[in-house]
Structure 1
Amino acid sequence: MVNETIYQHFRPDEGATVSEIADLISQAQSEYRPILSHFLNPRERFIAKTLVNENGQIKMSSEGLVPDAERKRVLFYPAYYQPTLADYELSLFEVKYPIKFASLKHSQILGALMNSGIKRNVLGDIITDGKRWQLIMDAHFGNFLQTQVESVGKIRVRFNLLEPASLVVHRDEWEEIQLTVSSLRVDVLVAAVYHLSRKHAKDILNAELIHMNWMLLDKPDQELAVFDIVSVRGYGRFKLKTVQGISKKGKIRVTVAVLKK
């Protein structure tokens, strides 16, 4: 049973996530066995780590196949247990498509998967070396992927199951930048990251073009926390990595990792 005071450390809109993760930890403790989560984003894993530290009797580890994966499955387990890669129930697929005649984008592949009925929480990272595209997925949904998803946009594709050793070297395009901002409000950070006016940032939000942690955001005064990921359609994504303190002028110093469109 989660200590009710733990909720005060998180935003009200994260209450459901806190409860879901707390239930997994409680299950691992009461059944004295490892319990596996769906894929969690960095913010959700931060919540999980906080709850595990609060519990004190259950450990956690995470795996996403990709080095420094953004999305990982988390295993909660008693101290006696030693996790193995098989415990995470991950499958690696490569997208086979006519490379000489077509090109793919991350957003196109993700859109095709979502439109097929695949839930975001059974998908890990989608990666590329510039030509080849691969994705990590909950192993239980591999058959659905291979039989039900036949195209990405107008491009015919198929998904080949590979061994983890066949993982491509992902081309990491995140760039870290240092900013000083007046607050951690989403409109303030969007404006600072993309060199926009506050009004323009709010207009983008009002047009429903901003998502935080893959959920549509509709409040310009929503404050970001460390590990939150913001997607801005037409611009790209960024994640809040650190909050370093207050400058002499009263500004907040932050580190943000930016992924251009």
Structure 2
Amino acid sequence: MNIYQHFRPEEREFIDQALGWKDYVEQTYAPKLTDFLDPREQQIVKTIIGTQSEIKMALFGGNDGAERQRALIFPEYYQAGDDDFQIALFELEYAKKFLSIEHRQVLGSLMSLGLKRGKFGDILLKGDQVQFFAAAEVSDYVRLQLDSVGRAGISLKELKLEEAIQPEENWREIAVTASSLRLDTLMSALYNISRQKSQLYVQQGHSKVNWTTIDNPSFECGEGDVLSVRGLGRAKIVTVEGKTKKDKWRIIAGRQK
């Protein structure tokens, strides 16, 4: 069976990487810990590992409900615990009375350290509290190098994982119809913007599907896909319920601001 036929062509490189992790565990009979994976990557790894008894996998991102999680792939004899995922939790200390910090500023500052996105998990914001998860192997480097976020001078305090805040997320369910499942058409329906505007967002690299920038307006979307558009928030295609009498797709989705 060709494993690639179940996935999109642009996912082939990651599929090869996941197959390599699986082979490593099979050949060495030792566990393999990955970087933080986004939900789509997690799903691909789950599909590749499957339910075979010889190789197991577990996911953990630092707290319950984490979006970005590390995968631990291990032989059946191994007993996996939270410590095996090697995750550090940091909280930013800054002048909260005078400054505010946004998610994009934290991500931008972390990326400026020269590390891969995969070395960082979720960024958590609640009120003026700002936390983020990082791979333990880079925690010393991050602590030494990160001294500002946006215009704010900051210091980092490392916390126990159980001290992670629960971020406030507001999702609402919506039902829309669209003439096709093309990215630009769906964006127009989900965000209530013109087709021309949605095409512009895509062509300018301001839209993502499953955490990957897509610059092709005709990219075909499907159930489970997560769309994000800069400045407009995120949407998830929950179900595609078939066509209406007017030959349009009826879609149940979630919207987040």
User: Do they fold alike, i.e. is TM over 0.5?
Assistant: yes
Whether 2:34 is the aligned partner of 1:37: answer yes
What one-letter code is carried by the residue in structure 2 that aligns with 1:42?
P
CA drift of 1:55 comes to 5.6
Q: Which residue does 2:99 correspond to in 1? A: 102
Change in CA separation of 1:176 and 1:83 when aligned onto 2, cut-off 3 Å? farther
Change in CA separation of 1:117 and 1:33 when aligned onto 2, cut-off 3 Å? same
Deviations for 1:78-132, whole angstroms, at most 9, x for unmatched residues?
2222210011110111011111111111011101111221211111100122220
- CA–CA distance in structure 2, aligned partners of residues 59 and 103 of structure 1: 43
Q: Which residue does 1:73 correspond to in 2? A: 70
Q: Which runs of 5+ in 2 are unaligned?
A: none
Q: Which residue does 2:162 correspond to in 1? A: 165
- CA–CA distance in structure 2, aligned partners of residues 195 and 20 of structure 1: 38
What one-letter code is carried by the residue in structure 1 that aligns with 2:249?
I
TM-score, length basis structure 2: 0.92
2:185 corresponds to which of 171, 174, 188: 188
1:245 corresponds to which of 241, 248, 255: 241
- CA–CA distance in structure 1, aligned partners of residues 51 and 182 of structure 2: 28
What one-letter code is carried by the residue in structure 2 that aligns with 1:174?
W
What one-letter code is carried by the residue in structure 2 that aligns with 1:96?
E
The SS at the match of 1:230 is: strand
1:13-162 aligned at under 5 Å gives the runs 13-53=10-50, 57-162=54-159
Give the root-mean-square deviation of aligned CA atoms: 1.8
What one-letter code is carried by the residue in structure 1 that aligns with 2:243?
S
TM-score, length basis structure 1: 0.91
Whether 2:246 is the aligned partner of 1:255: answer no
Q: Which residue does 1:7 correspond to in 2? A: 4
- CA–CA distance in structure 1, aligned partners of residues 189 and 63 of structure 2: 30
- CA–CA distance in structure 2, aligned partners of residues 217 and 41 of structure 1: 16
Change in CA separation of 1:35 and 1:255 when aligned onto 2, cut-off 3 Å? farther
CA contact (8 A) 2:63 2:161 kept: no
Q: Which residue does 1:178 correspond to in 2? A: 175
- CA–CA distance in structure 1, aligned partners of residues 174 and 64 of structure 2: 21
Change in CA separation of 1:244 and 1:218 when aligned onto 2, cut-off 3 Å? closer
- CA–CA distance in structure 1, aligned partners of residues 40 and 93 of structure 2: 32
- CA–CA distance in structure 2, aligned partners of residues 101 and 71 of structure 1: 31
Greater mean alpha carbon deviation, residues 171-180 or residues 74-83: 171-180
Whether 2:235 is the aligned partner of 1:235: answer no
Q: Which runs of 5+ in 1 are unaligned?
A: none
CA contact (8 A) 1:46 1:227 kept: no
- CA–CA distance in structure 2, aligned partners of residues 81 and 238 of structure 1: 38
CA contact (8 A) 2:63 2:162 kept: no
Change in CA separation of 1:256 and 1:56 when aligned onto 2, cut-off 3 Å? farther
The SS at the match of 2:50 is: helix
How many residue pairs get aligned? The number is 256
CA contact (8 A) 1:72 1:124 kept: yes
What one-letter code is carried by the residue in structure 2 that aligns with 1:151?
S
- CA–CA distance in structure 2, aligned partners of residues 253 and 124 of structure 1: 34
What one-letter code is carried by the residue in structure 1 that aligns with 2:241?
G
Change in CA separation of 1:70 and 1:156 when aligned onto 2, cut-off 3 Å? same
Identity of aligned residues (%): 36
- CA–CA distance in structure 2, aligned partners of residues 239 and 148 of structure 1: 35
- CA–CA distance in structure 1, aligned partners of residues 152 and 251 of structure 2: 41
Deviations for 1:47-93, whole angstroms, at most 9, x for unmatched residues?
11111127663121100123211100011112222210011110111
